[in-house]
Amino acid sequence: MRRQFGNCDSDAHALDLDRARLAIRQVAHCVRISRLPTTIVAIRAAGALKMRGGDDLHLTVPTQPDTTKRVRDAIRVIRRTSINSIYAKRIRAAYEKEFEALYKPRIHALVTGFRSTGLPVPVLSACGRGTQEIRFTQLLRHFLDPHEPHGLGTRLLEVAFAEEVRERGDEPVAWETAEVRAEVDLGSTTRSSGQPQGNALDLLVVAGDVAVLLEQKILSAENVVSQGREEDRAERPTMSDIAQLGRYSRAFKQTRDRLAPGAQRIVMIFLTPERALAKDPQSEWKSISHGDLIRRFLNADREKLSPVARHNLVTFLWDLTCGPLGLTHRLRAIVPMLERVVADADKGRLGQYFRWRRENHAELDLIMETLEILQEGI
């Protein structure tokens, strides 16, 4: 909130004070609302709980600095009253309940695994292959293929692209018939110079009338190929260049009858750690992150999984989390921080917990949910 107290002389002092009182009432309305939500979901959704006013209020009173001081003093009282109110206590209790019921057990599982009992081994990352895209492309291909002996059947394939497929139509998909291929040759396209340009797609899934094209980038960016002569190519791509995904779209249209002859619903996925967008703003490729994909896998049906299938699922998710999301090298620093979070929370202080939620919560939550799958049935 911003209130500007313009230039005024001593004769306007009364009007100035009226403006100050109005500002105080407006601040009070922002921070002292009559009813506050008491569940975590409602708290997150309530914009009024951002404590608007206070530090965001800027007052300028050139001739009457005392007015500014009165307003600021009033704001401090209002904020202190709000913080100590019964509503604030309810909010704190809701966060304490969330921590004890949900995050504390997960943190204990991660810390205990790191300190003593052990954690699943992220094989690709441990072997120095954690950021090589082709390795993770092959890993995805193996676990998405329902015909591979991982024991998961079509579970992962059903949730991986369900949202995007539904956007193309609600008809059921015969995922059990899916063919999953990696490093698929889409054929060549032609540059304006007349030279051919090869196009190899990372992953192609064909199931009945559905075809899913997936291109993955981990540390690299979407490539561009100049449409000009080789000798005139600039060091940086220009707007006249054709982005890689655009070339793939064109190439697939030319080879669609060969690669996916019965496909009517075509889904194009651009998979990156940070949900990077396609370079072409008009691109038909939908951007998702590795975190998005992992969360979908975590929601897969786990009923009647064999111990071997559960082991395979956990190690797959662990590798997918530690590799593309780059958490392997960070765990050593994160674990002591999590121990402080628990210690402070046990003493009634939630500051470390809130800081962790703000800075590391999203990625670490994936790891801790993966560990829960491992512990199911043990």
DSSP string for residues in 288-305: EEHHHHHHHHHTS--TT-
Average pLDDT over residues 23-37: 49
- CA–CA separation, 368 vs 360, rounded Å? 12
Burial track 246-285 (b if 16+ CB lie within 10 A, e otherwise)? bbbbebbeeeeeebbeebebbbbbbbbbeeeebbbeebeb
**What integer pLDDT is reported at residue 157 of this predicted model?**
94
Asked if 140 and 323 count as a contact pair (C-beta separation under 8 A), the reply is no
- CA–CA separation, 135 vs 323, rounded Å? 10
- CA–CA separation, 215 vs 200, rounded Å? 9
- CA–CA separation, 51 vs 179, rounded Å? 53
Letter for the amino acid at 123? V
Q: DSSP class of residue 179?
A: E
Confidence label for 228 from pLDDT (cuts 50, 70 and 90): very low
> What residues contact residue 301 under an 8 Å CB cut-off, 6+ apart?
155, 158
Per-residue pLDDT reduced to its tens digit, 328-364: 777 888 899 999 999 999 998 888 888 888 776 777 8
Of 75-84, 141-150, 178-187, 345-354, which gets the smallest average pLDDT? 75-84
pTM of the model: 0.69
- CA–CA separation, 23 vs 59, rounded Å? 9
- CA–CA separation, 353 vs 338, rounded Å? 8
- CA–CA separation, 154 vs 62, rounded Å? 70
- CA–CA separation, 344 vs 62, rounded Å? 45
Q: DSSP class of residue 11?
A: G
Per-residue pLDDT reduced to its tens digit, 283-314: 889 999 998 999 999 999 988 899 999 999 99
